[in-house]
Structure 1
């Protein structure tokens, strides 16, 4: 009785395969078909050996500077790709924000500077018509003989005035001639104006005519005397061909020590008045230069 029940429950292989058809696909031989591709993974021993081989001097076939020593090709490709990506991000950030913003800022500042200059020149033209930027060059209004005389005088003045070009002087002379002045008056007036202009070394005899607080002079130290004030380092007289004046060197100026008979050039000297006479003082904003120092051949 029990044996019959056991036999009736036996199922053949073909029946089992038919019942499991929905569960897994099989091939003609009855083997299960694996749809996924098998993934081969290295064992721990293989990974250790790969690292040893990669770092061994003989394991690197290509030892050129372009290869990364100790890295496999796969690792090297990842490193190169990452470096290239970082360079691209850095370049994009630099060009897109910093340099681009700086360039736009410079362009805007330059444009506004030109606009402000033009606006200022327009206002100045109400006082001096030649300051109008839209007015033609006055040299174009001169006759050929007048232009030749202007060029000749401009060359003479440029040789006497440091820092002024012949072109700038000829334009100023042409403005004066076109305005109605004769050549002699124009030359004398322009020379006196440019001689005491800011940045020029002013003749000591012309200091009274300067309307600035700071001036630059050059001359020879005629005499020095003792000062009664501890705040004064040196005091004396300086003179050139046009005249002489008192010079005071303040202690806090930390200026170089000068000696009698020495040629000096003082930039940024403070112009003062004492007992109705003009004088100069060397302050912390002044600079003393010695044109003759170091001239060993003399």
Structure 2
């Protein structure tokens, strides 16, 4: 009777031990050589956990320049690049927030300034209706011929008045014409008004009619007087084609000396009255300019 069971050679435990002993490396004395540093291999679970830790967001914080445990060089490069990109995004976001706050602050300040200016103009409109910011441009109320004449006179005045645009002058003229003044009367009134406005160099003959403390004049030094006080630096007479006035400078003001016959432009002088006559004095805030000084070619 045949059997389907395959028979094999049965090896005992002792034989297996002898076989392993024969295969083991021995030294010169016949003793088995044992490795002092055994080879360590990670288990499947340890390798899996290392990959998870290396790719987890919490696992890439504060790595600095040290090697990342459980990551290959390629993985480290990707992690470092991700860290650098996150840092750049954070910096851009912070700068954007700061720029946004600064822009919002400027917008708020500009809007509040605009509201204050409109509030002031509204209060001024209670005295002068022309100062109302909501009042339409008076030039829109003129006929075509009237507007053409106003613009022509505004062009002529702009050539005589420094610091005023033709558009500003034409609006002032239109306001007076709308109020009922003739064009010639409006031209004379606007010219006097703008000629003596703050910041303008005023004709000396117009000083008496200026209702403010600080003025600017220009003219030629025609006479020098001796000072009657040690506190006074210099006293001189300055005149232009419209009139003349006395100008005093004090030692404490520390202003430059003026020579007789030279032309001078004074800005920010203090207007005074003495014995019923108007005069000006130079202060520490005044500026003095000599247009002809240093022109050696003349």
Q: Same fold (TM over 0.5)?
A: yes
Task: Tell me what 2:198 maps to.
Answer: 198
* Structure 1 residue 35 corresponds to structure 2 residue 48: no
Mapped partners of 2:201, 2:242: distance in 1: 12
Task: Tell me what 2:94 maps to.
Answer: 93
* Structure 1 residue 260 corresponds to structure 2 residue 260: yes
* Structure 1 residue 180 corresponds to structure 2 residue 180: yes
CA 1:74 to 1:123, structure 2 compared with 1: closer, same or farther past 3 Å?
same
Task: Tell me what 1:250 maps to.
Answer: 250
Task: Tell me what 2:213 maps to.
Answer: 213
Mapped partners of 1:283, 1:83: distance in 2: 62
Q: Scaled by the length of structure 2, what TM-score is found? A: 0.72
Task: Tell me what 2:171 maps to.
Answer: 171
| Deviation for aligned residue 1:242 | 0.7
Q: 2:235 aligns to what SS in structure 1?
A: strand
Mapped partners of 1:147, 1:239: distance in 2: 38
CA 1:165 to 1:33, structure 2 compared with 1: closer, same or farther past 3 Å?
closer
| Deviation for aligned residue 1:117 | 1.9
Q: 2:264 aligns to what SS in structure 1?
A: strand
Q: 1:160 aligns to what SS in structure 2?
A: coil
Mapped partners of 2:280, 2:184: distance in 1: 33
Mapped partners of 1:205, 1:161: distance in 2: 16
Task: Tell me what 1:285 maps to.
Answer: 285
Task: Tell me what 1:294 maps to.
Answer: 294
Q: 1:146 aligns to what SS in structure 2?
A: helix
Mapped partners of 2:254, 2:75: distance in 1: 68
| 5+ long unaligned stretches in structure 2 | 1-12, 16-39, 48-72
Task: Tell me what 1:145 maps to.
Answer: 145
CA 1:265 to 1:73, structure 2 compared with 1: closer, same or farther past 3 Å?
farther
Mapped partners of 1:219, 1:87: distance in 2: 64
Count of residue pairs brought into register by the alignment: 238
Q: 1:187 aligns to what SS in structure 2?
A: helix
CA deviations 1:78-98 (Å, max 9, x no partner) are 8876665554433332221x3
| Deviation for aligned residue 1:239 | 0.6
| Deviation for aligned residue 1:148 | 1.6
Task: Tell me what 1:122 maps to.
Answer: 122
Greater mean deviation of Cα atoms: 230-239 or 76-85: 76-85
| Deviation for aligned residue 1:33 | 8.5
Task: Tell me what 1:68 maps to.
Answer: none
CA deviations 1:95-142 (Å, max 9, x no partner) are 21x322211111111111222222222222222222222222111111
Within 5 A, what are the aligned runs for 1:44-59? none
Task: Tell me what 1:155 maps to.
Answer: 155
Mapped partners of 1:297, 1:166: distance in 2: 35
| 5+ long unaligned stretches in structure 1 | 1-11, 15-31, 39-71
Mapped partners of 1:84, 1:33: distance in 2: 35
Mapped partners of 2:80, 2:254: distance in 1: 60
Q: 2:269 aligns to what SS in structure 1?
A: strand
Mapped partners of 1:200, 1:75: distance in 2: 73
